[in-house]
Amino acid sequence: MPVFPPRSTLQSVRVSNVAAAAVGLLICTGGPSTYIALHHMGPGSGWRTWVFMYPFAAVAIFGIAALLRTLSETQRPWWQRLPWPMYSVALYVGWALLSATWSVTPDITSTTALIGVGIAAFGCWVGCGLRSAEQIWAVAIAMSVAVCTSAFVAVFFPHQGLMPARGTSPGGEWQGIYGNRNSLSPVCVLALLGLVGVVMIRRTLRTALWVSPIAVLALVALRESSGLTSTMALALVILVAAALPVVWRLRSVGAPGWAVGGGLAVASAGTSAYVFSHLGELATRVGRDPTLSHRTQIWHDVRQFIAVHPWRGYGYWAFWDRADLTAGTYARHGDAYSSAHNSVLEVVLGLGVIGLVFYIAIGLTAIAGIAAWTWRTGSLASWWWALVFAFLFAQNLMESFVLWHSYQWILFIAAAVVPFRADARADAEAR
């Protein structure tokens, strides 16, 4: 039973595409902007200042142009050029734009939603415009640069790269070029996944030798950041990696795909239900706060806010910029936490149940598409995206990565689009 997928035919890598994707992803980690805002600008440098808006707007403009160019390369009618998951993405960003008409802070909604359209287009381009090898290289390069830079800052400029001194709460963890440890730790895991993908593409001793030091540094940074959410998500990735060879074996002996898929879905749902019903107990066992750094209390408050505007929400990104709405919960928790720390709750808070339907459509498309792609082909690209999406799925349960034009939102969208590309279908037909 093979543990890893077979080595794929080496694809030519367009350096310009990899560079553009890597720069866009690096910008959308927020690290460069956050570092400048925190350490080289005055107080109050938030998401609406130029250091955030200009770079993200540049990524958005590039994303629209790159996607249009990719779609124009085929001669089919435009509605046949779009992988159909893009329609769900279009509905989501369209609803976000429309939410400016009822938003509690419409000036924020209109600006951020317009940039959000371009960021979503960038995600679609990553999913359908880049070759598989280019996607892996882009993630590996962007996240490795972020990890190496963060490690350098944490070691040589600890007054900038570390959180408060050890022995306090949270206590001296690495934050690097970011504003907190929970922003650095997912970058470390994605760097590891990108580097693993690079090794799987090339499979040479030389590649392993230069990749290994960066991978070790990413592991060190993950440990020093003490990011529980990312560590748990990495554990899920390892479980998925262990399960895939079993799935391929079942396929080779003629097991029906619907039965295997149904069994995995039931097992996943049962595991998720158990974990979320015992979060406090599980956190205590690993020596962490049973409230998960007040997340369970935050979720309670956010559900109460949602009940006020359940169908349309408060407007895209709008709620957290209204001090009169957040003052009570911030006072109770003693912290301006600024997000729901759960993407599902965040979407409902901003865009209501209607927006949630579009978001879930994107997520289910990614799950079903990657599962079918992996089952039918067992290709390296499908294997890598299965691991990446497992990580993204876990992260979005504990963090609000639908905000801040996040790199994780870009990869989430790309994961929904990539199984429906022409070359993915060709892999299935060849199998």
Helix segments in 73-131, DSSP class H:
78-81, 85-98, 106-129
Question: How confident is the model over 134-153, as a mean pLDDT?
Answer: 97
Q: Is residue 4 part of a domain?
A: no
Beta bridge partners of 174: 162
Res. 180 pLDDT band, cuts 50 70 90: confident
The predicted-structure confidence for 196-224, as pLDDT tens digits, reads as follows 999 999 888 888 899 999 999 999 999 99
User: Does the pLDDT at position 64 exceed 90?
Assistant: yes
Res. 327 pLDDT band, cuts 50 70 90: confident
pTM: 0.92
User: Does the pLDDT at position 276 exceed 70?
Assistant: no
Q: Is residue 266 part of a domain?
A: yes
Flag the least confident range among 59-68, 127-136, 168-177.
Answer: 168-177
> Exposed, middle or buried by CB within 10 Å (0-12, 13-18, 19+), for 12?
exposed
> Exposed, middle or buried by CB within 10 Å (0-12, 13-18, 19+), for 325?
middle
Instruction: Give the C-alpha separation, 248 to 46, whole Å.
Output: 48
Question: If you average pLDDT over every residue of the chain, what do you get?
Answer: 86
Question: How confident is the model over 233-246, as a mean pLDDT?
Answer: 89
Q: Is residue 87 part of a domain?
A: yes
Res. 21 pLDDT band, cuts 50 70 90: very high
Q: Is residue 3 part of a domain?
A: no
Output the pLDDT for position 363: 93
pLDDT > 70 in the chain, percent: 85
Q: Is residue 111 part of a domain?
A: yes
User: Does the pLDDT at position 126 exceed 90?
Assistant: yes
Q: Which domain holds residue 241?
A: 15-430
User: Does the pLDDT at position 167 exceed 90?
Assistant: no
Q: Is residue 26 part of a domain?
A: yes
Name every residue whose Cβ is closer than 8 Å to that of residue 210 and which is 6 or more positions away in sequence. none
C-alpha torsion angle, residues 277, 401, 156, 167 (rounded to 10)? -30
Place of tokens 């529980």: 228
The DSSP code for 321 is G
Number of domains in the chain: 1
Q: Is residue 6 part of a domain?
A: no
Q: Is residue 408 part of a domain?
A: yes
Instruction: Give the C-alpha separation, 174 to 164, whole Å.
Output: 10
